[in-house]
Structure 1
């Protein structure tokens, strides 16, 4: 016994607050029919003891059937809650035996009234207990209108049967009033309790869903950061490795220098990956502009950078610079990866309330045939998410004369939506930024 109590206490403390409230509500609804059985159902039958064997037999039968009805009610509370919450339908066959028990109880009450085993006041209390066990789960299964209609019909039938056996008018009035009160009492006890629990469980499920979405969003952000960090460096490593192979095949000692540079970029990539994992890395626009120039020129592409000294001079917020730094990194990677460009121009300007970055390169026809900067990858989609979180936009497409242009616009007011670590806070603007058909 002591072990069971300890196990029960341990199980209670291991439950969450919501689980405790749920259990407390269910236990309360299961206990109420028993409380009414030993009060309203038992006390009026005390006078039947002195009114002959038939009255005693009917009273004992009423208590036995009423106890069985309470047991059935307790078994149906949990499925009724599940039905009310919409998690699983209530098996209708579980109502057959309780309905039969209710019919038997009604017949016993009518018989008690016929033999005069209970006086008028006692009959009113006895009738109060009559439908409680059955209606406790039933109120959660059917709609309110149907429940009230069925209770009214049942009250009318029960009162009519009592009138048929010669019950006095005062008893009939008290019984009708008691049946209606009992039906309403169950309704205002069971359904609000179930509604409150449903609302709390839905709120709990919403919090769980929010947590799962936050994890999914963080995974997408991490994947996007890994793409942005490694994309360009891996392209440069591949390019320099090919150059080193060609130089080595020709016996040119410059191949060693190229492999040393590959080693340096690989080590830098390792550090950048560590920084991304730790959540500390953020793109720096001036650094990315200089890095893009050196990488593209190393690939034999003529690069013109306008406004390279502008980020600090124009007073762009740190969040704006960080977002545009990712744009420079991704577009430089795409220029290296797609097509066969010979010239690239990067221009940074400021309007009255926004900073505009344009990256333009030739060889758009070749880029389109090979997938292009706006191909099926996730690079520009990730940039749209970054800029969209700051209220910015990203446009990419042919600009005429075999040119391809990427234009990023970020409002200067974006700093107000930046988080303390420099990243953009989530915004509904992300959903409003259209993605290209390929990215979908």
Structure 2
């Protein structure tokens, strides 16, 4: 990556929250080393202060590693690090005891600076250790037990280390409050991380359900159109066979009727497919603005689609739909601008958005599927062209359609053949020789 901002903006929203959560726990480790380890240099002799400082730093690093592995377990990428959690609990007790002994608190008066060092070690190290261990339990009741156990242990350990009874009680209460705060923060962070991932999965599920619903709708339409006609064709064909075996001339009439019904069915199927493939440009622009606004993306639309040929509106409507899909699925856009410029000679649709992931090459989506390839095929039907690529932090998609070419296409390419004319190969309408297959359209129907 050229810049840190590109690395950050190239991440998806769940990945950003994951990274933020992990580095928050790493910051807790730095906070432990700075707030507990550094003050020992002014309150202890140099040799022992360095030992205590290294112990605290080692404990903070151990907490960071444990938190990272625990988050991996929370996301389901590794097993629960039970041994690591147990080792951290033992290391926390060891650092507290060794650090307190090295501070000299058991042998010095209660008002000495050594007791300040010992108190900070006992409270801080125990609280950070308890908060990290509680992170690996995933259960509120067990988290509570961890915090209560850490507070009781801190109070019990402080007595033989030279703390008076009231001081030991105060120490236990402080550990309870501090450890509870850190544990609550850890639990909330994990809950937020899981919620973001679940929302992202729900969005993907909603998109898949929309595609499945559209497939069912298309299947129902085809069934309604073809079901009765195919049944009639089957019956009349069977009747024609029986009549032909008997040498009856009525067999020719029945086969002529079969041919008529077959052509009628073919025409009805084309109408279903054509209606399915058509997209209203004005409706797509309004829908794109609503969807992007719901995703907290500032969307600006300029221009109007009034009085454009139907074929041009359909082709550009699909461009808007696919561009909106790319903005939502790729990158992390904050702004999107759709501009429609109409002249006598041509109409130009431009879609620009920021938040281009750098690893995407020319921009979000191109070259990674059949979306833009399908758009180029649609625009070629009306003589148009499509350009897409990244310009710095902006991804720009431009569709250009000459109006004269589109009008000529509409005039010279009727939608349906004459009733007695030959059926086109493959069941495609003559005006759509390059139309993609139905499954491809189903995939692109809902952003």
State the shift of 1:162 in Å.
Answer: 3.0
Tell me whether 1:61 sits opposite 2:51 in the alignment: yes
Pairwise CA RMSD of aligned residues? 3.1
* Partner SS for 1:34: helix
CA 1:250–1:168: 2 relative to 1, 3 Å: closer
In structure 1, how many angstroms separate the alpha carbons of the residues matched to 2:262 and 2:24? 66
* Matched ranges for 1:241-390 at <5 A: 241-279=237-275
The C-alpha deviation readout for 1:314-363, integer Å capped at 9, x for no partner, is xxxxxxxxxxxxxxxxxxxxxxxxxxxxxxxxxxxxxxxxxxxxxxxxxx
In structure 2, how many angstroms separate the alpha carbons of the residues matched to 1:74 and 1:233? 70
State the shift of 1:79 in Å.
Answer: 4.0
* Partner SS for 1:31: helix
Partner of 2:126: 131
The C-alpha deviation readout for 1:171-222, integer Å capped at 9, x for no partner, is 5455334322321221221111222222333233233323322322332333
Q: Is the 8 A contact 1:128 1:178 kept in 2?
A: yes
Q: Is the 8 A contact 1:120 1:170 kept in 2?
A: no
CA 1:176–1:200: 2 relative to 1, 3 Å: same
* Partner SS for 2:202: helix
Partner of 2:24: 28
**Aligned equivalent of 1:151, options 119, 144, 147:** 147
Partner of 2:93: 103
**Aligned equivalent of 1:114, options 100, 106, 113:** 106
State the shift of 1:24 in Å.
Answer: 0.8
CA 1:277–1:125: 2 relative to 1, 3 Å: farther
Tell me whether 1:140 sits opposite 2:135 in the alignment: yes
State the shift of 1:144 in Å.
Answer: 3.1
CA 1:66–1:150: 2 relative to 1, 3 Å: same
**Aligned equivalent of 1:91, options 78, 81, 84:** 81
**Aligned equivalent of 2:176, options 164, 173, 180:** 180
In structure 1, how many angstroms separate the alpha carbons of the residues matched to 2:195 and 2:253? 67
State the shift of 1:48 in Å.
Answer: 0.8
CA 1:157–1:243: 2 relative to 1, 3 Å: closer
TM-score, normalised relative to structure 1: 0.54
In structure 1, how many angstroms separate the alpha carbons of the residues matched to 2:67 and 2:274? 50
**Aligned equivalent of 1:231, options 227, 230, 246:** 227
In structure 2, how many angstroms separate the alpha carbons of the residues matched to 1:94 and 1:133? 15
The C-alpha deviation readout for 1:284-303, integer Å capped at 9, x for no partner, is xxxxxxxxxxxxxxxxxxxx
State the shift of 1:262 in Å.
Answer: 1.8
In structure 2, how many angstroms separate the alpha carbons of the residues matched to 1:24 and 1:201? 14
In structure 2, how many angstroms separate the alpha carbons of the residues matched to 1:156 and 1:45? 29
State the shift of 1:237 in Å.
Answer: 1.4
Q: Is the 8 A contact 1:40 1:128 kept in 2?
A: no
State the shift of 1:273 in Å.
Answer: 2.3
In structure 1, how many angstroms separate the alpha carbons of the residues matched to 2:121 and 2:81? 30
CA 1:60–1:144: 2 relative to 1, 3 Å: farther
State the shift of 1:108 in Å.
Answer: 1.6
* Partner SS for 2:162: coil
State the shift of 1:32 in Å.
Answer: 1.0
Tell me whether 1:196 sits opposite 2:192 in the alignment: yes
* Matched ranges for 1:161-172 at <5 A: 161-168=157-164, 172=168
* Partner SS for 1:48: coil
Q: Is the 8 A contact 1:132 1:186 kept in 2?
A: yes
* Partner SS for 1:42: helix
Q: Is the 8 A contact 1:40 1:125 kept in 2?
A: yes
CA 1:234–1:206: 2 relative to 1, 3 Å: same
> For this pair of structures, how many residues does the alignment match?
271
In structure 2, how many angstroms separate the alpha carbons of the residues matched to 1:67 and 1:278? 69
Quick check: 98-107 or 267-276, which moved more?
A: 267-276
* Partner SS for 2:36: coil
CA 1:45–1:163: 2 relative to 1, 3 Å: farther
TM-score, normalised relative to structure 2: 0.53
Partner of 1:377: none
CA 1:230–1:155: 2 relative to 1, 3 Å: same
Partner of 2:302: none
State the shift of 1:163 in Å.
Answer: 2.5
Q: Is the 8 A contact 1:120 1:171 kept in 2?
A: no
In structure 1, how many angstroms separate the alpha carbons of the residues matched to 2:150 and 2:78? 28
Structure with larger Rg = 1
State the shift of 1:253 in Å.
Answer: 4.4
Q: Is the 8 A contact 1:155 1:180 kept in 2?
A: yes
State the shift of 1:272 in Å.
Answer: 2.3
